[in-house]
Structure 1
Amino acid sequence: MTQLFFEYGAMGSGKTIEILKVAHNYELQGKKVLLMTPDVDDRAGVGVIASRIGLKRAAVAIHKSDDLFAEVLKNTDDLAAILIDEAQFLAAKQVDQLAQIVDELNIPVMTFGLRQDAFNHLFPGSKRLFEIADKLEEMKTICTFCGKKAITQLRIVDGQPQYEGDQVFIGGDEAYVPVCRKHWYHPDQKRLAELFDTKQHAAN
């Protein structure tokens, strides 16, 4: 059944590895997929889907003003699926366009991304996906401090947790750690200092 999927999880839950695996599995069967990612995430370059373990692939860069239905209409020949990374950065209207692709073009769309930002507020793209996606699936990882399920991520700047600021702040392991709700409010400062001192030494 053709559906709009949203697989979500905290940072470090393996979302990007999963999207690359799904693409690989389709292609092993000789099927064509369209990989896309918002251009705001430029850590590995604009239009690149890259995981923390070094796997990466080129993708079509999505701009905030793009009409995704119109873009896909240009490239529908033998298209088995559309795979979108960092879907939290999509505009709400772009999520509606993905639903239109599913319903009118009969092409499955699988999106991957964060549920909420570092301040525990839904991203616009994630909010709309929760409202209209056919299937939701949580990808799990553990809290940096206690090993319980992480439900969000804590933003770290200069070794200190941040509880206000811009919703979009692009970064990876050097800027975020996955955490449970308890440790989002009360992070282990000693562990945090050790962790980011280690990351700083690794970077140097």
Structure 2
Amino acid sequence: MAELVFFSGTMDCGKSTLALQVDHNHAARGKGGLVLTRQDRAGQAVVSSRLGLRREAVEVDDGTDVWAEVTARRTRGERVDYLVCDEAQFYAPEQVEQLARVVDDLGVDVFAFGITTDFRSRLFPGSQRLLELADRVQVLQVEALCWCGARATHNARTVGGVMVVEGDQVVVGDVAAQAADGAGVGVDDVGYEVLCRRHHRRRTTAAAAHAAALSPDLLPFG
């Protein structure tokens, strides 16, 4: 039986790497598949991994009808045995319902990969619908870590190196690669960082913790 499987986790836990591995494994067994993505950090129509792996993909936008895409390809004689859907949190709920229809009516396996919550700890609409419809939800076992060493469970957005909790739900960026002291970060630069719940609640990013450690109020000398 075909399945709709949702692989979820925080940023920086290897979702895109696993998506590319799943595609490779199925293709190596002679299956025909389709890789889809939406708003990958590397640009349009590509799935990219922080390990340096990347693959061309079909870009999903607001007007994409996944059911129509799959049926059109099959009508042309293309083999579509499975779908790999990266950045699935950005899919519209209606597109997730189309994925479920592809599974149920066409017998095509769908492997969706995405984060569940945004920088405010609120569910993305696409992820919410996947949680409601998926045959299986699998939390990735490669745990991302907060700067304190605890398991990271929350995604934080920073602007100019400062954590924010207001703004548009979707702003494309990447896990912050700047130094912990925030050096070289522009005032309008958007970045992301994974944090444990405690430090997300306290809005304590790595840069903020570094700055606090160097505060004169905490040092034994003036």
TM exceeds 0.5?
Answer: yes
Number of equivalent positions: 193
Structure 1 counterpart of 2:63: 65
Name stretches of at least 5 consecutive residues in structure 2 with no aligned partner: 177-190, 211-222
Q: CA deviation at 1:109?
A: 0.5
Runs (4+) of structure 1 exceeding 3 A deviation are none
The answer to whether the Cα contact below 8 Å between 2:10 and 2:144 also exists between their aligned partners in 1 is no
The answer to whether the Cα contact below 8 Å between 2:11 and 2:144 also exists between their aligned partners in 1 is no
RMSD between superposed Cα atoms in Å: 1.8
- Within 2, Cα distance between the matches of 1:108 and 1:42? 22
Deviations 1:70-111 (A, max 9, x none): 111012343221000000011101111100000000001110
Look up the SS of the partner of 2:73 in the other structure.
coil
Q: CA deviation at 1:45?
A: 2.1
* Paired-residue identity, %: 40
Q: Which amino acid aligns with 2:22?
A: V
Alignment of 1:1-204 (within 5 A): 1-38=1-38, 41-76=39-74, 77-139=78-140, 140-174=142-176, 175-188=191-204, 191-192=206-207
- Within 1, Cα distance between the matches of 2:41 and 2:193? 17
- Within 2, Cα distance between the matches of 1:193 and 1:53? 27
Structure 1 counterpart of 2:220: none
- Within 1, Cα distance between the matches of 2:31 and 2:65? 24
Larger Rg, first or second structure (1 or 2): 2
- Within 2, Cα distance between the matches of 1:75 and 1:146? 48
Q: CA deviation at 1:149?
A: 2.0
- Within 1, Cα distance between the matches of 2:57 and 2:144? 29
- Within 2, Cα distance between the matches of 1:83 and 1:142? 22
TM-score, normalised on structure 2?
0.82
- Within 2, Cα distance between the matches of 1:83 and 1:136? 15
- Within 2, Cα distance between the matches of 1:194 and 1:75? 52
- Within 2, Cα distance between the matches of 1:193 and 1:55? 32
TM-score, normalised on structure 1?
0.88
- RCO higher in 1 or 2 (8 Å CA, sep ≥ 6)? 1
Question: Cα distance 1:42–1:149, how it changes in 2: closer, same or farther (>3 A)?
Answer: closer
The answer to whether the Cα contact below 8 Å between 2:40 and 2:47 also exists between their aligned partners in 1 is no
Q: CA deviation at 1:159?
A: 1.2
Q: Which amino acid aligns with 2:31?
A: K
Name stretches of at least 5 consecutive residues in structure 1 with no aligned partner: 196-204
